[in-house]
Amino acid sequence: MNKPNLTRKTRSHLIDRILGKKMEASGVAAPVLADRTASYASIADTFTRFDRFPGYEKMLVPKAASERLGLKNPFFRVHDGVAGATTLIGGREYINFSNYSYLGLAGHPAVNRAAKEAIDRYGTSASASRLVAGERPVQRKLEEALADLYEVDDCVVFVSGHATNVSTIGYLFGPKDLVIHDSLIHNSVLQGIQLSGATRRSFPHNDTVALDQILAEIRAQFERVLIVTEGLYSMDGDIPDLPALIRIKQHHKAFLMVDEAHSLGVLGATGKGVREHFGIQGKEVDIWMGTLSKTLAGCGGYIAGERALVEHLKYAAPGFVYSVGMAPSLAAASLEALHIMRREPERVARLHERGQQFLESMQPLGINTGLAQGYAVIPAIVGSSLKAAKLSNQFFDAGINVQPIVYPAVEEKAARLRFFLSAMHTDQQIQYACEVAKKLIANR
């Protein structure tokens, strides 16, 4: 018996009908199958290529300009060994102003030893979510030590600092809420707000009067309100008026969240952060956030506060529940770094001295240090991304590693070199860096 001579289109429709009848007979709704002959000619190839993404094309413009000017890429340089006040790149030692080891604890022998002992006991990974696979003692000890530092009920540690903000804000707040933040707040906060679906507003940098006025006008339109600030602004090196923010949040019945990524270990006589700097009790702030990758020589982030906040996040926040637990070795490293910080406040005092020394040496040269107050982060604002990249290369040639901060991380006119100070920098290193800055920036 001869088989009917069916066209491809006919066979396609026949298969669709057969599949539909089988689904119908089984009580399952038949899917609407796409016409296999549908034309996608109207869809441009632009939408099927990564190299045509708008963000990537914008990225290529300054890259091409840099290449025409003969500038080397200052990013992703490979370090060989511990990056502290000095670092080894390409076999040459550089004075290093591009790392967050504010108290010199990354690579500290006791911190390394704690991490190695944790590896020997627990291995290199927690292997699963802590909610389903259980805890390691060192993870809880770190959380308890951080809660004690802030004098609050409890703390929860996440595996990523950026994800800590994204997951916490994204989970706790929703479409009926308002999150209002400083205009210079970190990207992770903005991403968290976007995920939450909450209304977003910003107030001018460190302008508490403007914040109060905005809330007076719109607070009643929302259920929950969250105010977000940073303890030390990582691009500008200045700090907020925390007592004023607390008064505002109390008056307007809002929550206050302080991101201490760069202020822990830097502010306060013993490094306890912005609350110690102002003499504030830990429970006066609703959400303390921080990272473990700066002063605490590890990797990850944390939220500290009242027990209900922490339990809520531990049992329901996607960034914690559906993520692997922190590696025991990292938890052990950060815990030991925290112990050293508390035992050796002289490190904090030395960092304060270095920061003030650097700022007071740069400002008389006429170098624009912006809003910096001498607390470990000091920018040299130069006004264009290409100029910042060129200067970074010139500093590198002089034996100094300092990274440029370019658009879109900052406005184009605010492009800068960003100097991170460490307690381990010497007077001579700071003096030399300022001499190079005078030659390359001030005299141009």
**3-state SS assignment for residue 51:** helix
pLDDT digits (tens, 9 = 90+) for 216-245: 999 999 999 999 999 999 999 999 999 999
Tokens of 286: 């609703």
7-39 pLDDT, tens digit per residue, is 555 555 544 554 454 445 555 555 555 565 467
- pLDDT of 247: 98
**Rounded-to-integer distance, Cα 391 and Cα 385, Å:** 10
pLDDT for position 44: 87
Please state the length of the chain. 444
Distance of CA 433 to the CA centre of its chain: 27
Q: How high is the pLDDT of residue 1?
A: 43
386 and 307 co-located in one domain: no
Rg (CA), the chain: 27
In terms of Cβ atoms closer than 10 Å to its own Cβ (0-12, 13-18, 19+), residue 50 is: exposed
Residues 6+ apart with CB under 8 A from 259: 165, 185, 186, 189, 228, 229, 230, 231, 289, 290
pLDDT at residue number 59: 76
pLDDT for position 41: 78
Residue 419 has pLDDT above 70, yes or no: yes
> Is 36 part of any domain?
no
The sign of the torsion formed by the CA atoms of 318, 324, 330, 335 equals: positive
Whether residues 249 and 149 share a domain: the answer is yes
Question: Is there a domain that residue 14 lies in?
Answer: no
Domain presence at residue 29:
no
Q: Could you say which of 311, 343, 375 is where a domain stops?
A: 343
CA dist 26 to 16, 23, 30, Å? 16, 5, 10
* CATH code of the domain containing 89: 3.90.1150.10
Same domain, 205 and 329: yes
Q: Is 208 within a domain?
A: yes
Check residues 416 and 64 and name the one with the higher pLDDT.
416
**C-alpha span between 306 and 275 (Å, rounded):** 16
> How many domains, the chain?
2
Domain end position, chosen among 343, 365, 395: 343
CA–CA distance, 374 with 55 (Å, rounded to integer): 35
Q: For 145-167, how does the pLDDT look when each residue is reduced to its tens digit (9 = 90+)? A: 999 999 999 999 999 999 999 99
**Same domain? 330 vs 251:** yes
> How many Å from the N-terminal Cα to the C-terminal Cα in the chain?
92
pLDDT at 90 over 70: yes
Q: Does residue 147 form part of some domain? A: yes
Give the residue numbers spanning the domain of 411. 65-96+345-442
225 close to 181: Cβ distance less than 8 angstroms: no
Of the three residues 315, 343, 371, the one that is the final residue of a domain is 343
What are the residues facing 226 on neighbouring strands? 179, 255
* Residue-level pLDDT at 13: 53
User: Residue 352 and residue 267: Cα distance in Å, rounded?
Assistant: 8
Give CA 350 to chain center in angstroms. Answer: 25
For 352, other C-beta atoms within 10 Å of its C-beta total 20
Which amino acid would we find at residue 278?
F
Give me the pLDDT at residue 381, please. Answer: 96
pTM for the whole thing? 0.88
Question: Running DSSP on this structure, what letter comes out for residue 79?
Answer: B
Helix (H) or strand (E) holding 411: none
Quick one: pLDDT band at residue 344, thresholds 50, 70, 90?
Answer: very high
Instruction: Identify whether 263 is part of a domain.
Output: yes
Q: In terms of domains, do 195 and 82 share one? A: no
CA distance 236 to 372: 6
Collapsing DSSP states into helix, strand and coil, what is residue 28? coil
Q: Are residues 120 and 222 part of one domain?
A: yes
Instruction: Kindly state whether residues 227 and 184 are assigned to the same domain.
Output: yes
- Asked if residue 3 has pLDDT above 70, the reply is no
Inside any domain, residue 144: yes
Tokens at 64, concatenated: 């091409």
Residues 320, 418: one domain? no
* Contact present, 375 and 239 (Cβ < 8 Å): yes
Q: What is the mean pLDDT of the chain?
A: 91
Q: What is the CATH number of the domain that holds 201?
A: 3.40.640.10
Q: Are residues 295 and 420 in the same domain?
A: no
Dump pLDDT digits (tens) for 356-394: 999 999 999 999 999 999 999 999 999 898 899 999 999
pLDDT digits (tens, 9 = 90+) for 279-302: 999 999 999 999 999 999 999 999
Asked if residue 124 and residue 88 are part of one domain, the reply reads no
Most confident region among 16-30, 73-87, 143-157, 407-421 by mean pLDDT: 143-157
Largest CA distance in the chain: 99
Q: Tell me, yes or no, whether 204 and 339 share the same domain.
A: yes
Does 41 fall in a domain? Answer: no
Alpha carbons 396 and 379: distance in angstroms, whole number = 17
> Tens of pLDDT along 175-216?
999 999 999 999 999 999 999 999 999 999 999 999 999 999
Q: Indicate the SS3 state at residue 303.
A: strand
Q: Are 138 and 241 contained in the same domain? A: yes
**pLDDT score of 318 more than 70:** yes
Q: Give the 3-state secondary structure of residue 311.
A: helix
